[in-house]
Amino acid sequence: MTLVLLLPVPVPLAGATARHCGSRPRRTRGHDRQESVIPSRPHVRPRARALAALAAVTATAALAALAQPAAAAPPAAVPIDLETATVAQLDTLLAAKQTTSLAITQGYLERIRALSIVGPALNAVQTVSASALTDAKAADAVLASGAAHGPLLGIPVLLKDNIDVKGIATTTGSVALQGNVAPADAPLVSQLRAAGAVILGKTKLTEFANFLTSGMPGGYSSLGGQVLNAYDVTQTPSGSSAGSGVAASVGLAPITFGSETSGSILSPANANSDVGVKPTVGLISRTGVIPISATQDTAGPLVKTVADAALALTATDLADPTDSASAATPLSGHDFTRDLNPGALARARLGVVTTRTCLTALCDGTGGVAGTDYVDTSQRPVTPAGGTPPDTQVLYDNALAAMQAAGATLVPVRVRVPFIASPGNPGVLTYEFKRDLNHYLATRTSRGFGVKTLQDVIDYNNAHAAVALKFGQLQATTSQAVDLSPGSADTATYNANRSRDIAQSTGPINVALAGPDGVAGNADDVSSLIYLGSNSAGIGAKAQDPTVAVPAGYQTGQGTPPGSRRPINIGFLGAQYSEPTLIGLAYAYEQATRLRRPPSSINPTLYRCTALPGSPQDGCPAATIPVLPPDTSNLGGLPGIVPRAALVRVYGAQRVTSGRKGHRYVVKVFPSPLAPDVPVGGRLVGLYVDGVRRATLLTGRDGTIGYLVGFRPGRHTVTAVFFGAVDLLKGSSQKVAVSAR
């Protein structure tokens, strides 16, 4: 038997523009009761519904199809381990014609299937772009032509699912936004495409970047579920850029992007042993990124090496006139790869931070009594009474020693956190979340999309509480209660709070960077402040200052408390737009220590029984679990549910009986839902062959559906129908050619 598949036309490829390899590409600047377990979509007007349905078909099918083995021949092997491959290594292979972008992209898609979807099911990737392979083939054509091109030509990139990619839903992990198909790329994405990157898909995140409620676990969302940490699945992957952090750590893409308001890049980088860059607010355009706070939000890369981070920044730092902060950046078009200096630590002065937390107003002046008026906290972890030094203390000491050995001078500095007599309400982020999310929903969503305000999100969640509100929406409702009118008391309090945030973050940081004498511009100034883990996140976010975080090793499990091989990072914080200096310092430290290890070497048990080549298989569970055929007697008779047709992808068939009138086959198909509320692999109605209903059997739990079907030789039209929500969308059918043998 031969199956001839007539597949849907892929999403058109955006036009590629020739770029000079290694040079800065020029870009045109464009102008951040009982409930159903599967919630219905937010209201979408009919015209927009068709567009959303088409996008859902392509994007959902692309990701879902990874859940089972492909019928086609396996992709050509890439001559490098993609878990640890860097952009420079992949670029070298592409230039030498030892591999192709198509093979690289297929390799990463296979890793997504083997590690994120099945296997250990790290659950890091939300959506795979339906055009990823087409885009990779286009990149290969440019490479073959010898034409000039951008620095990321053919390199796959994953983006946090709060960043707009045209034709793909931007959900920020919320079931309320599952139909928010982006009508245009964010400028960040446009710049990546102009640099030649292949947009591989979207990563999962803590819902609404961890600003929906209080107490939501890092990496959890109502739409995406829980992301797992590959280094230790019992520990948080942290957030909110959890999916990007995990994807970077296990090699689901060589470059991933997250976003940060306060810690959402630096904390996942620390938890997942990534290099993370939280840039100055405005270095990368915020337009087209679902926001929390216009004053603190920024996108940034999560990668394996500082060199990869420099490439990612270089590709995305062009000024954006639609973003007031980005329009003013002095680093537009800067090539950060030129800042990769292995000798940058020689003669550098680095501030070793002690934080002074003021408990009374007296600490802010000239007096104060330790323990009463202030508490000094070193970055160096403290040994418990009667205990052994914690692993983090040893790792911190080792990091400082490595900097000294490379020629750096370590200068003790104090960063003062002033006393706040009355915090006031609303907080800065609470006020800006309502203001800025409303602006995004009103200006960046399609005309027919029904969710246009924060109140719409709250209403949708309340109507679908079983799925949407496992952890509540306290922060959303608190923000919604804020009065945004110019003359309101809330607005006056917000303005006062924001002014205080700037003074109490930028001021202490600048004083510390000025060195012991506190006067900027003198010889005792320091280039950067050194922080353990993600400890710079809070004060750096309020000051809009950058931090570059680098892996500093792994706990050994010998200290108090035991560490269980968990990663730890060292962060280099600097003044606004000091990224060139920080990249140099971080690169020099990375090259001097080379401490990063992939998850497969730190947590090898995770990789047992996966589909990856070389994965240990001894002692693994049986690949096939026997199941009884389900009772199909009541199919089609359920009241109040309308069937919905779906695209069918036939990926394999096995002949089970033969006869004079033809053959009987178990035909495996995979549904591509026409809308997000159609569950993959479930709520099955039936299979129709040439318009005649056939027996229906749901045989797999991984999205695989098997049907026992009689085929005569010839061409047949096969349609699968699934239970949908309340309306029936027109479906497409798979044409199958069957020949007897």
The CATH code belonging to domain 63-68+77-343+601-607 is: 3.90.1300.10
User: Which residues participate in catalysis according to the annotation?
Assistant: 160, 240, 264
Rg (CA), the chain: 27
Mean pLDDT is lowest, of 70-74, 289-293, 711-715, for 70-74
Q: Using CA atoms, how far apart are residues 199 and 109, in angstroms rounded to an integer?
A: 12
For the chain, what is the mean pLDDT?
Answer: 80
Mean pLDDT of 595-619: 89
pLDDT band at 610; cut points 50, 70, 90:
confident
The CATH fold assigned to 643-738 is: Immunoglobulin-like (2.60.40)
pLDDT in tens, 203-220: 999 999 999 999 999 999
Of 625, 530, 621, whose CA–CA distance to 569 is shortest? 530
Of 114, 284, 541, whose CA–CA distance to 106 is shortest? 114
Whether pLDDT at 186 is above 60: yes
Domains 63-68+77-343+601-607 and 643-738 in one fold? no
Q: Using CA atoms, how far apart are residues 312 and 265, in angstroms rounded to an integer?
A: 14
**Hey, what are 240's tokens?**
């909110």
Identify each DSSP E strand in 239-330 by its residue range: 255-260, 275-278, 298-303
Are 494 and 431 contacting, i.e. CB atoms less than 8 angstroms apart? yes
Q: Using CA atoms, how far apart are residues 607 and 609, in angstroms rounded to an integer?
A: 6
Q: According to DSSP H, which parts of 276-351 are helical?
A: 306-316, 324-327
pLDDT in tens, 241-254: 999 999 999 999 99
Report the length, in residues, of the chain.
741
Task: Give the position of tokens 């929406």.
Answer: 473
Mean pLDDT is lowest, of 17-31, 154-168, 184-198, 411-425, for 17-31
Are 574 and 582 contacting, i.e. CB atoms less than 8 angstroms apart? yes
pLDDT band at 709; cut points 50, 70, 90:
low
pLDDT at 620: 77
Whether pLDDT at 147 is above 60: yes
**Hey, what are 546's tokens?**
């950058």
pLDDT at 386: 66
Whether pLDDT at 683 is above 70: no
As beta bridge partners, residue 658 has 663
Q: Using CA atoms, how far apart are residues 61 and 646, in angstroms rounded to an integer?
A: 11
Of 181, 144, 244, whose CA–CA distance to 47 is shortest? 181
Whether pLDDT at 663 is above 80: no
pLDDT at 119: 83
pLDDT at 387: 67
Mean pLDDT of 342-363: 92
Hey, where are the domains in the chain? 63-68+77-343+601-607, 349-413+501-595, 428-495, 643-738
pLDDT at 418: 81
pLDDT in tens, 289-333: 999 999 999 999 999 999 999 999 999 999 999 999 999 999 999
pLDDT in tens, 75-98: 567 999 999 999 999 999 999 999
Whether pLDDT at 27 is above 50: no
pLDDT band at 385; cut points 50, 70, 90:
confident
Q: Using CA atoms, how far apart are residues 675 and 53, in angstroms rounded to an integer?
A: 5
pLDDT in tens, 613-652: 888 877 777 554 444 343 333 333 333 333 333 334 433 3
Percent of the chain that is helix, strand, coil (3-state, to 5): 30, 20, 50
**Between the CA of residue 453 and those of 436, 450, 641, 735, what are the distances in Å?**
10, 9, 30, 43
DSSP state of 355: E
**Between the CA of residue 493 and those of 360, 502, 544, what are the distances in Å?**
22, 14, 20
Is 441 or 662 the better-scoring residue by pLDDT?
A: 441
